[in-house]
C-alpha cells in the first residue's frame, strides 16, 4: 500500500509541477526548466454543474494557479460579464508556433531529455496543447544563411530540387516529435519566404523582387515538390499560404527574404497556376490555401483585388494575417473582410515582440510583453479570427540566431550554456487560450460591463467541443477587480481577478 501511495503521489506531482521562478529585473519573472525539472499544467477535469474552475497567471508570480468556486443566485458586484451562448461566431482552428531553423537549432543545443521537455511544454497534454504548426518552405531570416531548395542556375523542371540540411536536422525531427506528442492532432501549414534567385526579377533572395512570369508554373510546382519531400518523410500538411509578407518586397533595402506579390498579380498566379496545380494534385487536392500572410492593414482591399475573379475566389480557403502593425490598424478591418468573404476563415499566422530601438530584443520576465500578446489575441478573437500562431518557439538569449540580426523575443528562451530554458510570461498569456480553448470551440457573445473605472479589463468567451464554457479575462490594472460572470443557463460566477493578471474561467 505504501508503494502504491508513493507511485500515485509521484504521478500526481509529475502531472502538475509548479513554476520555479527567477527574476531578471525586467518587470516580471520567468519559469526555469532544467534537466531535472520543468513546470507543467494538467488537462482540466470536469467539475459538477454547480462549480467552476479558475486558472490565474499574474505579475506577482502565479502561473496557471487553479482554484474553484460555486455559482451563486445573485451578483455581488456591479462589474459583470454577460454571456449569451445562443449567439455564436467563428469556430477555432487552433493555436501554435513555427518550426523555424532557429527554433530547431536552439532545441538541438539542449541535452536530449530537455529537447523532449521543451516540445512537451508546447504540444503535450501537460503543456499548452498546441494544435497548429507553421513550417517555412526554405530559409527565413531566422536561419544562419539565406537559401532555397534549388539554388544555382535556372532549373525550370526542378531537376536539382532538394531539401536543405536544415530541414533534415532541425525541422523534420521536431515536427515528427510534435506529431507524436499530439497523437497526430496537429494541423501543419507551410509558408514560403523566397523563391530561388533565378526565378526572381531582381535575381536575389530579398529586396524588390517578383516571380518572373515565365516561372509562374515552376513556382507552383516548387510548392508541390516541397510537399512531396516532406510527405516521403512522414510529414503531411493541412495547408499552405501564398507566401510570407509579400509587401516586404516594396522596400528595396529590406533584407528579409521575400517574393513580392501585387494583389492583381497574385490573383493571376492563383487562378492560372497555384490553384489548378494544388486542386488537380492526387495527393493535395484538399489542401487548405490561405492568401495574404501579411499585416491586417492590407485588409480588405488586397483580398478584394486578388479575388475579384470568382474563379480565383474558389481556390482560396482562408486569409492569413500577422500582428506587427495591429497598433496602426483598426480591428474593424477584420470585420469588413469577414462580411465581404464570409466563407473564408481568418487565421493569425505570425506574432513576436519586435523590440523598440531602446530595448534589448529579449527581456526575460517582461509581463508587459505578455499583456501585449493576450490583448491582441482577445481583440482578434472578438473580430472573427479563428486562431493564433506564434513565431519562433525557441530562441537564444540574444533573440536568434538570425543571419540579418533581426533579433526578437520568444515565448521560450534557451540558454544552452547553462542547460536551461526559460518560459516567458508570453508563454503563459498564450497558454490561457491554447490550453483551455481547443480546436472546434466556438466563440460566443460576451459583453463586459464595468462600473468602477476598471478600464483595462477585457474578455472573450467560447463554448468548447465538450460543451464546457471558457472565459478568458485580462486585467491590466495594477489593482484587483471583482466581477461576476452571468450565464442565464447556470447563474452567477463571482470572480476575484488579481492585479496584472490573465484568468481563464472554465465550467461545464
Catalytic residues: 245, 350
Q: What angle do helix axes 112-123 and 172-181 make, rounded to 10 degrees?
A: 60
Maximum pairwise Cα distance, the chain? 75
CB-based burial label for 8 (10 Å; 0-12, 13-18, 19+): exposed
What span, in angstroms and rounded, lies between the C-alpha atoms of 33 and 11?
19
Partners of 505 in beta bridges: 54, 471
Tell how strand 132-137 and strand 412-415 pair up: unpaired
In this structure, the number of other CB atoms found within 10 A of the CB of residue 395 comes to: 28
217 and 273 Cβ atoms separated by less than 8 Å: yes
What span, in angstroms and rounded, lies between the C-alpha atoms of 96 and 392?
10
What span, in angstroms and rounded, lies between the C-alpha atoms of 459 and 158?
50
Secondary structure (3-state) at 208? coil
Q: Is the peptide bond before 401 cis (omega within 30 degrees of 0)?
A: yes
Q: DSSP secondary structure string, 322-345? A: ESTTGGGS-THHHHHHHHH-TTSE
- The grid cell for 157 is 523542371
Amino acid at each position: 500500500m505504501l508503494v502504491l501511495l508513493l507511485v500515485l503521489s509521484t504521478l500526481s506531482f509529475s502531472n502538475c509541477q509548479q513554476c520555479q521562478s527567477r527574476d531578471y529585473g525586467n518587470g516580471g519573472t520567468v519559469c526555469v526548466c532544467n534537466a531535472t525539472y520543468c513546470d507543467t499544467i494538467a488537462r482540466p477535469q470536469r467539475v459538477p454543474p454547480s462549480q467552476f474552475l479558475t486558472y490565474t497567471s499574474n505579475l506577482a508570480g502565479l502561473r496557471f494557479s487553479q482554484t474553484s468556486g460555486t455559482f451563486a443566485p445573485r451578483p455581488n458586484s456591479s462589474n459583470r460579464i454577460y454571456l449569451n451562448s445562443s449567439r455564436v461566431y467563428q469556430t477555432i482552428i487552433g493555436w501554435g508556433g513555427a518550426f523555424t531553423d532557429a527554433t530547431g537549432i536552439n532545441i538541438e543545443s539542449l541535452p536530449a531529455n530537455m529537447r523532449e521537455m521543451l516540445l512537451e511544454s508546447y504540444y503535450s497534454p501537460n503543456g499548452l496543447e498546441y494544435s497548429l504548426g507553421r513550417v517555412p518552405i526554405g530559409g527565413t531570416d531566422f536561419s544562419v544563411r539565406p537559401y532555397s531548395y534549388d539554388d544555382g542556375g535556372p532549373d525550370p523542371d526542378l531537376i536539382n530540387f532538394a531539401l536543405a540540411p536544415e530541414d533534415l536536422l532541425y525541422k523534420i525531427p521536431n515536427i515528427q516529435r510534435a506529431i507524436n506528442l499530439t497523437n497526430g492532432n496537429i494541423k501543419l501549414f507551410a509558408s514560403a519566404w523566397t523563391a530561388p534567385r533565378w526565378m526572381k526579377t531582381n535575381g536575389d533572395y530579398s529586396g524588390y523582387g517578383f516571380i518572373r512570369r515565365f516561372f509562374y508554373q515552376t513556382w507552383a510546382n516548387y510548392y508541390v515538390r516541397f510537399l512531396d519531400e516532406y510527405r516521403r518523410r512522414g510529414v503531411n500538411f493541412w495547408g499552405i499560404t501564398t507566401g510570407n509578407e509579400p509587401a516586404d518586397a516594396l522596400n528595396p533595402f529590406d533584407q528579409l527574404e521575400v517574393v513580392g506579390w501585387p494583389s492583381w498579380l497574385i490573383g493571376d498566379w492563383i487562378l492560372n497556376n497555384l490553384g489548378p496545380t494544388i486542386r488537380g494534385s492526387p495527393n493535395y487536392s484538399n489542401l487548405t490555401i490561405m492568401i495574404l500572410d501579411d499585416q491586417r492593414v492590407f485588409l480588405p482591399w488586397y483580398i478584394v483585388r486578388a479575388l475579384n475573379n470568382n474563379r480565383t475566389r474558389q481556390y482560396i480557403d482562408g486569409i492569413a494575417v500577422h500582428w506587427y502593425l495591429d497598433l496602426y490598424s483598426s480591428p474593424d478591418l477584420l470585420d469588413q473582410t469577414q462580411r465581404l468573404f464570409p466563407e473564408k476563415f481568418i487565421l493569425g499566422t505570425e506574432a513576436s515582440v519586435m523590440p523598440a530601438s531602446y530595448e534589448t530584443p529579449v527581456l526575460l520576465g517582461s509581463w508587459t510583453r505578455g499583456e501585449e500578446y493576450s490583448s491582441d489575441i482577445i481583440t482578434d478573437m472578438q473580430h472573427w479570427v479563428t486562431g493564433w500562431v506564434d513565431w519562433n518557439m525557441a530562441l537564444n538569449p540574444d533573440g536568434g540566431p538570425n543571419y540579418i540580426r533581426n533579433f526578437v523575443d520568444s515565448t521560450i528562451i534557451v540558454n544552452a550554456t547553462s542547460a536551461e530554458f526559460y518560459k516567458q510570461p508570453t508563454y503563459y498569456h498564450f497558454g490561457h487560450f491554447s490550453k483551455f480553448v481547443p480546436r472546434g470551440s466556438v466563440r460566443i457573445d460576451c459583453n463586459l460591463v464595468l462600473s468602477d473605472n476598471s478600464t483595462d479589463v477585457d474578455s472573450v468567451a467560447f463554448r468548447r467541443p465538450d460543451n464546457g464554457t471558457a472565459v478568458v479575462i485580462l486585467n491590466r490594472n495594477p489593482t484587483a477587480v471583482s466581477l461576476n460572470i452571468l450565464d442565464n443557463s447556470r447563474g452567477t460566477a463571482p470572480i476575484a481577478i488579481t492585479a496584472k493578471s490573465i484568468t481563464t474561467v472554465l465550467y461545464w
